[in-house]
């Protein structure tokens, strides 16, 4: 028997609670695309509600309901009403299915889904968690739940993809002041996930060696990044990453500068390239020479084979 039945309900009979919402940790203001869609096409996906005393409790569709009210909807709207005796597991399945209709769950939505499972299920359905949130272990669930402890602007950035999931998990280990500063810097520089992780990797080496906070490192060495506006963001970002590497790997930085100077002094032709060993761990260097064809290589080989 289906868990849902379609009904027309007065919009004022729906109580817009957030008890079952996957969006209670982030702003739920509807985006312009949703407003335009409902205004032009109507409600394509009915809200899911459950009868509760004299009204109906909203299960899914808070933003859709908010748009309808903003547009002045007065006549009854189509809703999917769940059975009164539905189990919590089945209700959570409906919540997940409704959200998946708009795409995969964000890390924040997945974390809230896990939190709801922990509240309403004696033993979370492993198969459902794996399918809905790609979670397969208790450790993964625990780590993902830590995202809900982050400040609302950070949770919102993770939900929208501006801060990566891995970065968010790293930020959860910081103090509130520290991660708020880092978050604002990442947003200001529009760093992608790889650069966010690289920044944290380098800056934590510096802070660990000097006993400084991240904010002090940035303030002391990159004061211009603390201003309200930044000119030429890509250039500033490259300079930041380069300088952080120099601060975190001083010996490698000096070795690199020396190597580049020595190579420049050789005035190599455009078809030659000299590269050092990884991280300058040894004194070995590699010479690469590009030839136009095999005949050119054969002629040159007779001259250089005695040197290799």
**Which pLDDT does position 131 carry in this prediction?**
75
**Which pLDDT does position 127 carry in this prediction?**
73
Asked which of 51, 69, 86 is the last residue of a domain, the reply is: 86
Instruction: Check: CB of residue 192 under 8 Å from CB of residue 134.
Output: no
Give the chain's domain count.
2
Greater pLDDT, 34 or 255: 34
Angle 96-98-104 from CA coordinates, rounded to 5°? 65
pTM for this prediction: 0.79
Considering the domain boundaries, does residue 131 fall inside one?
no
Residue 286 is encoded by which pair of tokens?
Answer: 């590699």
Asked which of 65, 86, 107 is the last residue of a domain, the reply is: 86
pLDDT tens, 113-150?
999 988 888 776 677 777 777 777 888 888 999 999 99
C-alpha to C-alpha distance for 34 and 56, rounded to whole angstroms: 23
Domain of residue 284 covers: 261-307
Kindly report the number of other CB atoms within 10 A of residue 16's CB atom. Answer: 15
Kindly report the number of other CB atoms within 10 A of residue 112's CB atom. Answer: 28
Considering the domain boundaries, does residue 112 fall inside one?
no
Where does the pLDDT of residue 95 fall: very low under 50, low under 70, confident under 90, or very high at 90 and above?
A: very high
Q: What CATH number is associated with residue 64?
A: 3.90.1530.10
């Amino acid at each position: 028997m289906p868990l849902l039945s379609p009904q027309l309900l007065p919009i004022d009979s729906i109580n817009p609670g957030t008890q079952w919402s996957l969006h209670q940790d982030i702003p739920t203001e509807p985006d312009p695309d949703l407003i335009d869609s409902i205004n032009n096409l109507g409600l394509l996906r009915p809200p899911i509600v459950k009868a509760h005393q004299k009204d109906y409790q909203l299960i899914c569709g808070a933003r859709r309901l908010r748009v309808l009210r903003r547009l002045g909807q007065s006549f009854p709207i189509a809703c999917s009403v769940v059975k009164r005796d539905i189990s919590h597991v089945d209700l959570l399945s409906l919540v997940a299915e409704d959200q998946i209709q708009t795409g995969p769950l964000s890390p924040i939505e997945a974390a809230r889904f896990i939190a709801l499972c922990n509240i309403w299920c004696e033993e979370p359905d492993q198969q459902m968690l794996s399918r809905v949130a790609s979670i397969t272990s208790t450790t993964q669930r625990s780590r993902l739940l830590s995202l809900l402890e982050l400040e609302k602007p950070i949770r919102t950035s993770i939900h929208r993809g501006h801060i990566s999931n891995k970065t968010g998990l790293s930020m959860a280990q910081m103090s509130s002041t520290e991660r708020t500063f880092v978050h604002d810097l990442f947003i200001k520089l529009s760093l992608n996930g790889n650069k966010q992780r690289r920044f944290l990797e380098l800056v934590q080496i510096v802070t660990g060696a000097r006993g400084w906070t991240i904010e002090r490192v940035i303030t002391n060495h990159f004061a211009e990044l603390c201003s309200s506006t930044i000119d030429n963001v890509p250039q500033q970002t490259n300079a930041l990453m380069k300088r952080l590497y120099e601060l975190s790997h001083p010996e490698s930085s000096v070795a690199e500068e020396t190597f580049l100077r020595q190579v420049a002094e050789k005035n190599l032709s455009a078809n030659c390239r000299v590269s050092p060993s990884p991280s300058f761990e040894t004194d070995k260097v590699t010479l690469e020479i590009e030839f136009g064809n095999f005949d050119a290589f054969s002629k040159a080989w007779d001259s250089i084979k005695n040197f290799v």
